[in-house]
Structure 1
Amino acid sequence: MRRYGPAVLLALVGSAILRVSLFSELYLRYVQAGLRPCLVVSGVGLVLLGVVVGVVVRTSGEHDEHEEGNDGHTHGPAGPRVAWLLALPALALLLFPPPALGSYSAEREAAQRAAQGVGAFPAPPSGNPLDLTLGEFGSRAVYDSSRSLKGRTLRLTGFVTRDDDGTWYVTRLLVSCCAADATTAKAEVRGAGAPPVDTWVTVTGTWHPRGELGSDSAWPPVLDVISERSVRRVPQPDNPYEKR
């Protein structure tokens, strides 16, 4: 059985990739939606390669058994049993896919932001409340010289993070390609108590300007809410990340 190890490992990895990309939306926890076809092709290729390797090993085994009958011993190493440990990561991905990045990843980032110049932004769409991503809200609040968000009712969606002093934020992770390059966008929420950390919420309120535009004192931006009812718990979206 040990000689089938490479074939089994290839099939497990391929099945795990297909499980998260072809048969569910779980791949969105790790990569952008545009990479789905690549994942599906890779998964199918690995499964087929595992089948081919299994057939080759079986054929080779039959040949070895024939030669054993002629000279009394087998040919070719079966490989160490410890190699089966390589199957554990594939099984883990297949049976227990890791969750999307959350508060722990957001807190580890040292508030590094892409350099942007202060300037006038295009006027946002009309109507209240105005739905914004956390990235859009942060950019306009920190860099928009026209103060286009002032006086508008805003609606933001993300997960809850919290400081040791009780200050809490609605937070989202921004990715360019995959979860490995994630950065943080967040807004401090004032006027309502904090839900549990990592809870997904939609928060409705108004922008609270602070600090000089483009400075560290303007970050993170602040959202004032009217009451606890302005904070509504929501399910985690299929795609938990925003595109950077």
Structure 2
Amino acid sequence: MIHPHTYIHPNAKLAQNVKIDPFTVIHQDVEIGEGTWIGSNVTIMEGARIGKNCRIFPGAVISAIPQDLKFAGEKTTAEIGDNTTLREFVTVNRGTKERGKTTVGSDCLIQAYTHIAHDCSVGNHCIISNSTQMAGHVMLGDWAVIGGVCAIHQFVQIGSHSFIGGGSLVSKDVPPFIKAVRTPLSYGGVNSVGLKRRGFNLDTINHILDIYRIIYNKGLNTSQALEYIEEELHASDERDEIVTFIRESGRGIIKRYAKGSGDED
């Protein structure tokens, strides 16, 4: 299952049924779960932890040291969950001492030429489309979908079940369950299509819509909107997730689109 033209360091730990194609290099302190396939010309560097049944396509580089001038050679990791696919030339850097690791969850699709920088955290079931560039410390919730050729600023948080349109510059936090579109990046409504596909019922989707109407359409500032939501809307997991996300936002959340604010459309 391992081609003779592949180099594997003697200290690397490979489970059963791992298949590795020619001209791939695997460094020391690497762990790879059973059933994983690694294509040709892949480089897996020190600190990589790769789960079961993953697919890593040619040209990918996993667990290279961070592109961070503060990195001082500390022992850190880059961790990939089970059943995740990394397409051609994806790069995932390992962490720094601040977080200690970079993580990509299970059942994700990371498309070609995507870069995931040091200390990022990508949840489960995420799709990151071609040529997206994630700076350090970005946090991506479960089931988030990122369109192609997006650039995501360091320390940005993107909520679960959100959708970001292709070609976006993401410099503010994107709350859960919504679409983020246009230029500058703005609230584009609730991601109702994605939520229906994942089994959310109509009552729950309407509840989420009511929450975001208060945040974006009622003319309240953020603090007033959150207080109103907690006082007037019934408690739910979705309500609590949205309120907690916005309260803990470090960069502030994206705004509602204002006509004339820069979109050529």
TM-score, with normalisation over the residues of structure 2?
Answer: 0.23
Larger Rg: 1
Q: Which has the higher helix share?
A: 1
**Which of 1 and 2 has higher RCO (CA within 8 Å, sep 6+)?**
1
Q: Which has the higher strand share?
A: 2
